[in-house]
């Protein structure tokens, strides 16, 4: 969980722990534990040399599959790990009955938007203050039904 807390901060700049800036807050870790415990079939990790270098966690609410978090260690980005995790996630969301996949990206992570476009997500909107005051989100969606 410690390694995931460090990866999670990459995807969640709003949840950075002030006392330990290399990881997310304990409060945010509660979310991650919730997803891992309740949607374990929607959570995947990537390992290299027995170290966790990436993870993805999701949730299905009705017909909507939500990609809650996806992050790859900075040292391992750009090597296809994120794509591998995303493929697994999209298949798992479909298997759980989701017809649409959705993700809310913190504005500071807008560099990840092309990554989602590679999977045929499209921007469907934005939400001001989504993650707290000043922490706006870009919303992307993709139809899963084929
Ligand atoms: C977004 C992220 C998960 C992608 O993982 P990755 O392992 O680096 O991605 P891949 O190596 O599989 O790249 C897949 C494609 O996305 C593109 N891509 C990935 N990150 C990109 C970026 N920051 N800017 C532009 N393109 C990017 C790659 O160029 C690649 O395109 P290609 O297939 O045409 O070569 C990773 O960069 C990351 O953890 N970023 C920080 C956290 C974050 O922003 N998470 C998403 C918001 S919740």
pLDDT digits (tens, 9 = 90+) for 38-56: 999 999 999 999 999 999 9
2-143: what fold?
Aminopeptidase (3.40.630)
The secondary structure of residue 109, as a DSSP letter, is G
Question: Residue 104 CA: which ligand 1 atom is closest?
Answer: 48
Average pLDDT of the chain, as a whole number: 96
Domain ranges of the chain: 2-143
Question: Has residue 64 got a pLDDT over 90?
Answer: yes
Half-sphere exposure of 12 (CA within 13 A, CB side): 29
Per-residue pLDDT, 1:
85
Per-residue model confidence (pLDDT) at position 146: 65
For 66-93, the pLDDT digits (tens) are: 999 999 999 999 999 999 999 999 999 9
For residue 94, pLDDT over 80 is answered with yes
CA 45/CA 53 separation, integer angstroms: 8
**Residue 83, C-beta contacts closer than 8 angstroms, at least 6 positions apart:** 115, 118, 119
Given a cut of 90, whether residue 145 has pLDDT beyond it is no
Going from the Cα of 101 to the center of ligand 1, the distance in angstroms, rounded, reads 17
Give tens-digit pLDDT for 109-140. Answer: 999 999 999 999 999 999 999 999 999 999 99
Distance in Å, CA 102 to ligand 1 centroid: 17
Return the exposure string of 124-146: e unless at least 16 CB atoms fall within 10 Å of the residue's CB, then b.
eeeeeebbeeebbbbbbbbebee
Tell me the best of 57, 66, 73, 78 to mutate to test the pocket of ligand 1, counting ligand atoms within 8 Å of each CB and taking the most.
Answer: 78
């Amino acid at each position: 969980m410690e390694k995931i807390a460090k990866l999670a901060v990459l995807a969640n700049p709003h949840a950075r722990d002030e006392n330990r800036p290399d990881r997310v807050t304990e409060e945010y870790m509660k979310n991650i534990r919730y997803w891992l415990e309740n949607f374990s079939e929607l959570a995947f990790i990537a390992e290299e040399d027995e170290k966790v270098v990436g993870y993805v966690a999701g949730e299905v609410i009705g017909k909507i599959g939500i990609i809650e978090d996806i992050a790859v260690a900075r040292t391992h980005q750009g090597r296809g790990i994120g794509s591998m995790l995303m493929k697994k996630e999209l298949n798992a969301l479909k298997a759980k009955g989701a017809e649409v996949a959705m993700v809310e990206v913190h504005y500071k992570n807008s560099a990840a938007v092309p990554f989602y476009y590679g999977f045929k997500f499209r921007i469907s909107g934005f939400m001001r203050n989504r993650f707290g005051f000043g922490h706006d989100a870009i919303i992307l969606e993709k139809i899963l039904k084929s």
